[in-house]
Amino acid sequence: MSEQCFSSLQLQPELLKNLQSLSYEEMTPVQAKSLPSILSGKDVIAQAKTGSGKTAAFGLGILANLDLKNYQPQSLILCPTRELADQVANALRQLARTLPNVKILTLCGGVPIRTQVKSLSHGAHIVVGTPGRIAKHLRKEYLTLASLTTLVLDEGDRMLEMGFQEQLDDIINAAPKKRQTLLFSATYPPAIQSIAKRVMKNPEMVKVDDGHDELTIKQHFYKVGSREERMTALRLLLLKHRPKSAVIFCNTKNDAMDVTDELLDFGFSALDLHGDLDQVDRDDTLARFANKSVSILVATDVAARGLDIESLDMVINFFTSSNPEVHVHRIGRTGRAGDKGMACSLYSEKESFKMGRIGEYIGQEIVPEELPSKAVLNDDPVEPEMVSIKMRIGKKQKLRAGTLLGILTGENGIKGSEVGKIQIFDNQSYIAVKREVVKQVLRKLSKENWKNRPIKAWKVGN
């Protein structure tokens, strides 16, 4: 039996069967290296990023040891953002679907605490949440960790970067001393090493090489002078390569906001994503970027964390990170799943030291290239093919994507091929449709009712 086979592990037959049905044939490197230790109850630190299969690594460990008769939380998974917590909870539900009645609850900020308290009163085997909200539940004694056996810190580096140190300490202090602690982190800075030292017992270290970056992502570096020149360089790259989906990284929130404003002035389709957005605005931004009605997202590292964007054409470092691990993490967002990705980084003379560090880290000498010809500055920016339509009805009003698609493509409707992504949130929904049919869709929706009330729908953005 291959060491990479899940069947070499001590897992319940139901779990193994499910992995087969999910077409998980072999373990990913992080799973192969960490699962034996996780299953034997050891503390593990795994340096692995999104896309490595880390969720299933800790997820299988948790599910293998769950006592289904005990409805008090036995596992707590802390994540930096609500999106990541939702992703993790969904991944766990999928892994647990062949086990009887595993209850997985998410507890994140941005939603009323009262409904969460009610859900908690029905019991849960596994809780996934963000540190601020979990700490609040503990403080108010809505949540108890008396039965906790496994604590997972997912994307630990980002949680610290987001300033969750105090809440993490409170949560760890409220957890039983005898427990398993699993720490997943894309980078391993001193702050993480220190937390690991304080809260883990003889942790096993796991590190995987994700060689894919060098293989499929072509990196380009450009030297720029003034701030104005940097902006021109950004426009040249965007106008030359015309990405349909690109993320531009800045190191601060203010830079992200300024760059977005400037791009909008130049006629680009752009939105900013930073830590100061409230949850509604964040959901809005992410929905519109993911459905291809906005082509550029200008983001800070913290805010971009937990994003799972398929098929990103380009990543541009408007300001390059001084941490090479962060740099590699940023550019790893393009070129997923074997697609060819393109990563461009801008730097000034003053930032040359960053290039030295990055070059050393990726084992490559960094040679700046020439920027595209200024002639492209006369071209119009890419206009997104899709437009977002928003409605104030969602899951809570029992709206389903299939039903909505049926309405859109029904009598006097549009073709299925003219509908893009449909995203249904609790109380609102986004539909992406081809630009040419927006008016027709709005007209159609204005004549429709949902649960005996007229549907209110409007176009968001340009």
Q: Does 326 bind ligand AMP (CB under 6 A)?
A: no
Q: Does 53 bind ligand AMP (CB under 6 A)?
A: yes
- The neighbour count for residue 141, using CB atoms within 10 Å, is 8
- CA 206 distance to own-chain centroid: 22
Q: Does 307 bind ligand AMP (CB under 6 A)?
A: no
Q: Least distance (Å) from ligand AMP to the CB of residue 19?
A: 7
Q: Which residue is nearest to ligand AMP (CB)?
A: 55
Site stretch for ligand AMP (CB under 6 A), options 49-57, 197-205, 321-329, 401-409:
49-57
Report residue 396 as tokens: 């809570």
Q: Does 333 bind ligand AMP (CB under 6 A)?
A: no
Our CB check for ligand AMP shows the closer of 238 and 286 to be 286
Return the C-alpha torsion angle 105, 107, 113, 114, nearest 10: 0
Q: Least distance (Å) from ligand AMP to the CB of residue 32?
A: 9
Taking alpha carbons only, the member of 454, 438, 245 closest to residue 336 is 245
Partnered with residue 316 across adjacent β-strands are 248, 344
Our CB check for ligand AMP shows the closer of 88 and 263 to be 88
Our CB check for ligand AMP shows the closer of 307 and 346 to be 307
Residue from the set 9, 11, 18, 28 that interacts with ligand AMP by CB under 6 A:
28
Q: Least distance (Å) from ligand AMP to the CB of residue 207?
A: 15
By CB under 6 A, the residues from 55 to 94 that bind ligand AMP are 55-56
Residue from the set 54, 82, 136, 235 that interacts with ligand AMP by CB under 6 A:
54
Residue from the set 51, 275, 381, 394 that interacts with ligand AMP by CB under 6 A:
51
Q: Does 200 bind ligand AMP (CB under 6 A)?
A: no
Q: Does 388 bind ligand AMP (CB under 6 A)?
A: no
Our CB check for ligand AMP shows the closer of 157 and 418 to be 157
Q: Residue count at the site for ligand AMP (CB under 6 A)? A: 11
Q: Least distance (Å) from ligand AMP to the CB of residue 17?
A: 15
Q: Look up residue 412 and give its amino acid.
A: N
Q: Least distance (Å) from ligand AMP to the CB of residue 129?
A: 17
Our CB check for ligand AMP shows the closer of 208 and 342 to be 208
Q: Does 131 bind ligand AMP (CB under 6 A)?
A: no
Decide: residue 122, CB within 10 A, 0-12 exposed, 13-18 middle, 19+ buried.
Answer: exposed
Q: Least distance (Å) from ligand AMP to the CB of residue 331?
A: 17
Q: Least distance (Å) from ligand AMP to the CB of residue 436?
A: 34
Our CB check for ligand AMP shows the closer of 151 and 250 to be 151
By CB under 6 A, the residues from 149 to 168 that bind ligand AMP are none
Residue from the set 34, 37, 52, 293 that interacts with ligand AMP by CB under 6 A:
52
Our CB check for ligand AMP shows the closer of 47 and 52 to be 52
Site stretch for ligand AMP (CB under 6 A), options 24-32, 133-141, 276-284, 357-365:
24-32
Site stretch for ligand AMP (CB under 6 A), options 23-31, 35-43, 261-269, 346-354:
23-31
Q: Least distance (Å) from ligand AMP to the CB of residue 446?
A: 38
Binding site for ligand AMP (CB under 6 A): 24, 27-28, 31, 50-56
